[in-house]
């Protein structure tokens, strides 16, 4: 009920701005021809979406869907290229200290540069073709991806994770992959690894999957779920 009552208040300011826009054009508070009226914008939008495309030379008649699909394609391509470079780089920065010391300062130095500042460089190098648009889109997505990937890797307890992987490999417990790591802390009473699935059961607390022996109701810092 409270949300229903709050909804009209959110529309007051947009409606007031729309009325002000209409009055500004209607009473010519600005020079004629500079700002179109809301009705003119709606009519142009209708022609752009539903207008006839055959036999017309206007690029804004019935071409809205084609433009949306083409722009979406470029956005996905730019994001894919950025992820292809940023994710492996973020993993290397997070896992390897030497790589982090060599690469991370440069990324942090260039990250505050606005994307529009790269526009002259993109035009000079790639021209006014799709490559420059892909470059700018990729630059916009590159820094958030690489920074978040780096922080995600650094938040993992790499010592315990590496120790677990090594011990699982040595004991050959038949575990196929690690399904989830970095889970929240949880209290375990006893650990039992059977022939079907890992579970909490009636077994001794000393198990090679654990970094150290645990006692009843003693919290384990990192829980790692495994699949057979």
CA dist 109 → 103, 124, 209 (Å): 10, 22, 42
Q: What is the largest CA-CA distance in the chain?
A: 86
Is residue 44 within 8 Å of 103, Cβ to Cβ? no
Query: Full-prediction pTM beyond 0.85?
Result: no
Same domain flag for 177 and 150: no
User: Quick one: pLDDT at residue 161?
Assistant: 59
What 8-state DSSP symbol labels residue 19? H
Same-domain pairing of 194 and 142? no
CA distances in angstroms from 48 to 15, 33, 36, 53, 70, listed in the order given? 24, 20, 16, 10, 15
Q: Same domain for 150 and 100?
A: yes
So what's the pLDDT on residue 206? 47
Tell me how many domains the chain contains: 2
Q: Is 46 helix (H, G, I), strand (E, B) or coil?
A: helix
Q: How many CB atoms lie within 10 A of CB 143?
A: 18
Query: Which value, in Å, is the radius of gyration of the alpha carbons in the chain?
Result: 29
Note the pLDDT of residue 69.
Answer: 94
**Residues facing 220 on adjacent strands:** 186
Domain boundary among 154, 181, 211: 154
Instruction: Give the range of the structural domain holding residue 187, as residue numbers without chain letter.
Output: 173-227
Is there a domain that residue 188 lies in?
A: yes
Same domain, 147 and 79: yes
Asked whether residue 32 is assigned to any structural domain, the reply reads no
Q: What is the 3-state secondary structure (H, E, C) of 109-121?
A: HHCCCCHHHHHHH
pLDDT value at position 80?
96
Count of alpha carbons within 13 angstroms of residue 195, beta-carbon side? 0
Instruction: Spell out the per-residue pLDDT of the chain, length 228, in tens.
Output: 556 556 688 889 999 999 999 999 988 888 888 899 999 999 999 988 888 776 666 777 888 898 999 999 999 999 999 999 999 999 999 888 899 999 999 999 999 999 999 999 999 999 888 899 999 999 999 999 999 999 988 877 655 556 656 665 555 444 444 444 444 444 444 444 444 444 444 334 444 444 444 444 444 444 444 443
């Amino acid at each position: 009920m409270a949300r229903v009552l709050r909804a009209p208040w959110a529309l007051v300011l947009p409606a007031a701005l729309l009325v002000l826009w209409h009055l500004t054009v209607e009473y010519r508070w600005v020079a004629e021809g500079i700002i179109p009226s809301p009705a003119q914008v709606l009519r142009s939008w209708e022609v752009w979406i539903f207008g006839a495309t055959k036999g017309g030379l206007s690029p804004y008649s019935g071409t809205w869907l084609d433009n949306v699909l083409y722009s979406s394609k470029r956005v996905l391509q730019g994001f894919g290229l950025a992820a292809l470079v940023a994710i492996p780089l973020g993993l290397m920065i997070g896992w390897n200290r030497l790589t982090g010391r060599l690469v991370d300062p440069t990324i942090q130095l260039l990250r505050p540069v606005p994307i529009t500042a790269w526009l002259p460089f993109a035009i000079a190098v790639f021209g006014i073709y799709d490559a420059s648009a892909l470059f700018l889109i990729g630059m916009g997505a590159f820094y958030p991806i690489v920074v978040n990937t780096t922080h995600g890797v650094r938040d993992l307890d790499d010592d315990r994770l590496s120790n677990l992987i090594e011990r699982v490999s040595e004991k050959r417990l038949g575990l196929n992959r690690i399904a989830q790591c970095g889970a929240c802390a949880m209290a375990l009473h006893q650990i039992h690894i059977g022939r079907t699935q890992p579970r909490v059961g009636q077994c001794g607390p000393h198990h090679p999957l654990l970094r150290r022996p645990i006692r009843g109701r003693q919290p384990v810092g990192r829980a790692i779920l495994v699949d057979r």
